[in-house]
Amino acid sequence: MRAFISSVYLFLYAPIALVVLFSFNAGRSASEFTGFSTDWYGKALGNTFLVSALQNSLIIAFTSAALAAVFGTMAALGMERLGARMRALFDALFAAAIVVPGVVIGIATLVALVAVFSFLNPALAALWPGDRPPQLGLGYGSIIAAHGLFSMALVTMIVKARIASLGRDIVEASSDLYATPLTTFRLIVLPQILPSILAGFLLAFTFSFDDFIIAFFVAGSKTTLPIYVFASIRRGVTPEINAIATLVLFASLLLILTARILMREKRSKSGE
Amino acid sequence: MRAAMNTKRNLVTAALVAPAAAWLFVFLVLPFVAMLVFAFGERAPEGGYQAAFTFAQFANLPTRATAFWNTLLLAPAGALLCLVVAYPTAYHLAVKANPRYRLILVSLVVVPFWTSLLVRTYAWMYILGSRGIPNLLAMVGIEDVRLLNTPGAVLLGIVYGYLPLMIMPIYVSLEKLDRRLLEASADLGAKPVSTFFGVTLPLSLPGVMTGVALVTILLLGEYLIPQLLGGGKVFFIGNALVDLFLQSRNWPFGSAIAVTLVAVVVVVLMVAMRIAWRVAGTRQVDLV
């Protein structure tokens, strides 16, 4: 049994460890470690395509996660106050946003946006006073929209679970003491749900930062980091990709660990 | 007074849910309607979509039968393979592991799920590729071993990618298990094996169901693993969709396949829920 469990952990971590190890390899070999070097990192970070893809990914992940954190929290708070039927409708839509495969979300968003743009662009051209009307197209906006969908569902799910575990009595006590609803929210509810909101934000950020398939469909001419990595893998496996992969790995590792610590704090505070 | 307060309360509620509602409508509901409309359309001569009302795209589905068969075969097979590895692991974590290290051990299982699937799949491409294991084998005299671009490589990638998602729900259901039941079973003279099959296993079935359903559903839409480890030889519906949308630009046919894929997901979900309902109450899945 013990040997089996150890081999499961080895199975989970050895491949990742190998990629990290060979990102420091001086040579190009994938099976022979010929010496330690950080050359591949220098090469990766000197690559302007890579750096701009990284910038795009950070902008998109930050914007979609921030929007999801704000709107998702609002939705979680609002759904508490909805009637059973409306709440079930929201639950179903959020569940759909999570369960529907990313490849379908990407396609549906692409199809819908292209259809909408084909109406809007000529209309815009007709109405535009100058002679260079703006062209709507795929890019930051479409990726943020599609990532925001999943992320919002994620944040709502996490914050809703936290609200459900909150004691109603403390909220009632606050209003009995003549606190306005806004004051109660600011002083009582918000501090308690803040760790979950932050955890939701970080998970949403991680999801967006790592997503390949949705962005692949709706990115237009923009390149995100996973799209860049995918394209480079297709050109052939090189130690430079190992270096990039290691950087991506550690970025998401940092995010997920922070999220977990925030969520655990929530769990221990609520006494679970 | 009361009416005014109610109106105000309703306005606040509406304002709270409005952004998410708008987002869900514009970026989930509308796209689905658009995709459905496209699925009944025709391919424009230069690629893309042309308005029409025809079932031709759906009639064409059998031309992509291989992708459907691969997906419908390898997704459940991958999920079951995950289960075989996941159950003993979850059992160990929940029942046998030292409570002091439990949290760390569980974290170590969850964390990979939230790191880039692309990078984790790439790791196997690297290991199975000609410069990885086959290269090492060649050094000891075993030549021409091909591991990459085989169904086995795809299954390996699937187990690797989705193992954490299978372990978690099973772990949660085993952890909630009332230890007194196990003691009662032992006190009544049951051997450990019969306690396991008579008490532990049935009570952890909801977790097993959740895990199998979750992993199968996610695998139905998988693209990266068959693309990178199957190398165009073992392709899923997801690969057919990328090809139709981004290469051959046959959007209506692609939409018809996507609509069919969603239908398959819904059927799998309903079957899973029906079974879960019968086995026990459904249980929420803790992804983090």
List residues bridging with B43 in a β-sheet: B49
Residue A213 tokens, joined = 């398939």
Nearest-Å Rg of the Cα atoms of chain A is 23
**How far, in whole angstroms, is CA A72 from its chain's centroid?**
13
Query: Do A8 and B85 lie within an 8 Å CB cutoff?
Result: yes
Residue B13 lies in a domain: no
* Number of Cβ atoms within 10 Å of the Cβ of B49: 22
Per-residue pLDDT of chain B (288 residues; tens, 9 = 90+): 567 778 888 898 999 999 999 999 999 999 999 999 999 988 888 777 788 888 888 988 898 899 999 999 999 999 999 999 999 999 999 988 888 888 889 988 988 888 889 989 988 988 888 777 887 788 887 877 788 889 999 999 999 999 999 999 999 889 888 778 888 888 888 888 888 888 888 888 888 988 998 899 999 999 999 999 998 788 999 999 999 988 888 999 999 999 999 999 999 888 887 877 776 554 444 443
pLDDT band per the 50, 70, 90 thresholds, residue A144 = very high
- The number of CA neighbours under 13 Å toward the Cβ of A159 is 31
**Phi and psi (nearest 5°) for B42?**
-120, 160
What is the predicted pLDDT for the residue at B285?
43
Strand partners, B49: B43
CA separation for the pair A36, A38 (Å, rounded): 7
For A89-111, what is the mean pLDDT? 93
Residue B141 backbone zone (phi > 0: left; psi -120 to 50: alpha; other: beta):
left
Q: A12 vs B38: CB contact, 8 Å cut-off?
A: no
pLDDT at position B280 is 57
Q: Is residue B166 part of a domain?
A: yes
pLDDT value at residue B81 = 96
Interface-testing mutation among A93, A104, A262, with chain B (most B C-beta atoms within 10 A): A104
Scored b (16 or more CB within 10 A) or e, A245-255 reads bbbbbebbbeb
Per DSSP, the residues of B13-30 read: HHHHHHHHHHHHIIIIIH
Q: Pick the closest to residue B65 from B73, B76, B75, B53 (CA basis).
A: B73
pLDDT at A266 over 60: no
According to DSSP, residue B43 is labeled: E
Measure CB to CB from residue B116 to each of A13, A115, A226 and give the nearest one: A226
Q: What is the mean pLDDT of residues A62-75?
A: 97
Cα gap B26→A108, rounded to integer Å: 11
**Are B119 and A248 an interchain contact pair (Cβ–Cβ within 8 Å)?**
yes
Measure CB to CB from residue B17 to each of A29, A70, A75 and give the nearest one.
Answer: A75
Q: In whole angstroms, give the CA distance from residue B257 to residue B60.
A: 9
Q: Which of residues 43-82 of A touch B (CB under 8 A)?
A: 70-72, 74-75, 77-79, 81-82
Q: Which residue in chain B is spatially nearest to A3 when comparing CA positions? A: B89
Task: With beta carbons under 8 A apart, name residues in chain B contacting A79.
Answer: 17
Check pLDDT > 50 for residue A112: yes
- Compare all CA atoms of chain B with the CA of A72 and give the residue at the minimum distance: B20
- Determine the residue of chain B that is closest to A89 in CA distance: B21
Q: Identify the pLDDT of residue B237.
A: 95
Q: B221 and A101: CB-CB below 8 Å?
A: yes
Q: Which fold has domain A56-269?
A: MetI-like fold (1.10.3720)
Alpha helices in chain A (DSSP H): 2-23, 39-45, 48-80, 84-99, 102-127, 140-165, 168-176, 181-184, 190-210, 213-218, 225-235, 239-269
Structural domain including B170 reads 64-279
**Residue B42 within a domain:** no
- Mean of the pLDDT values across residues A223-242? 87
Phi, psi of B233 (to 5 degrees): -95, -35
Token couple for A224? 């995100």
Identify the CATH number of the domain in which residue B246 sits.
1.10.3720.10
Does A88 contact B at CB distance below 8 Å? no
User: ∠B177-B183-B184 over CA atoms, to 5°?
Assistant: 100
Distance CA B91, CA B103 (A): 14
Q: Check residue A267 and give its pLDDT.
A: 53
Q: How far is B13 from chain A (nearest CA, A)?
A: 5
- Residue B216 is predicted with a pLDDT of 93
Residue A134 pLDDT > 80, yes or no? no
Residue B234, in any domain of the structure? yes
For residue B265, tell me if it sits in a domain.
yes
Which segment of A105-114, A164-173, B115-124, B194-203 scores lowest on mean pLDDT? A164-173
A103 neighbourhood in chain B, CB within 8 Å: 221, 223, 237-238, 241-242, 258, 261
Q: Could you tell me the maximum CA-CA distance found in chain B, to the nearest angstrom?
A: 89
- Percent of chain A topping pLDDT 90: 45
pLDDT at res. B279:
66
Task: Using the predicted structure, report yes or no on whether residue A238 has a pLDDT greater than 80.
Answer: no
Q: Is residue B181 part of a domain?
A: yes
> B20 and A9: CB-CB below 8 Å?
no
Instruction: Return the pLDDT at B16.
Output: 94
Token pair for B171:
């772990």
Q: How many CB atoms lie within 10 A of CB A108?
A: 29
Residue B159, in any domain of the structure? yes
Nearest-Cα distance to chain A for B213, in Å, is 11
pLDDT at B287: 42
As a whole number of angstroms, the distance between CA A122 and CA B219 comes to: 40
Spell out which residues of chain B touch residue A149, defining contact as CB-CB under 8 Å. Answer: 23-24, 27-28
For chain B, the domain total comes to 1
In the block, tokens 């946003």 appear at: A97
Size of interface A-B (CB pairs under 8 A): 236
pLDDT band at A272; cut points 50, 70, 90:
very low
Task: Report how far residue B2's alpha carbon sits from residue B8's, in angstroms, rounded to the nearest whole number.
Answer: 10
Residue B213 belongs to some domain of the structure: yes
- Note whether B34 contacts A111, CB cutoff 8 Å: yes
Q: With CB atoms and an 8 Å threshold, state whether A233 touches B288.
A: no
Amino acid letter at A159?
V
Please report residues of A whose CB lies closer than 8 A to that of B131.
29-31, 237
Q: Of B175, B182, B203, whose CA–CA distance to B95 is shortest?
A: B175
Q: Please indicate whether residue B36 or residue A165 has the higher confidence score (pLDDT).
A: B36
More confident call, A119 vs B239: B239
Q: What is the pLDDT of residue A268?
A: 52
Q: What's the distance, CA B249 to chain centroid?
A: 27
Helix B117-128 and helix A225-235: axis angle, to 10°? 10
Rg (C-alpha) for chain B, rounded Å, is 24
Selecting from B13, B31, B118 the residue whose C-beta is nearest the C-beta of A81 gives B13
- B129 neighbourhood in chain A, CB within 8 Å: 30, 237
Within 8 A by CB and 6+ apart from B89, the residues are: A4, A5, A8, B109, B163, B167
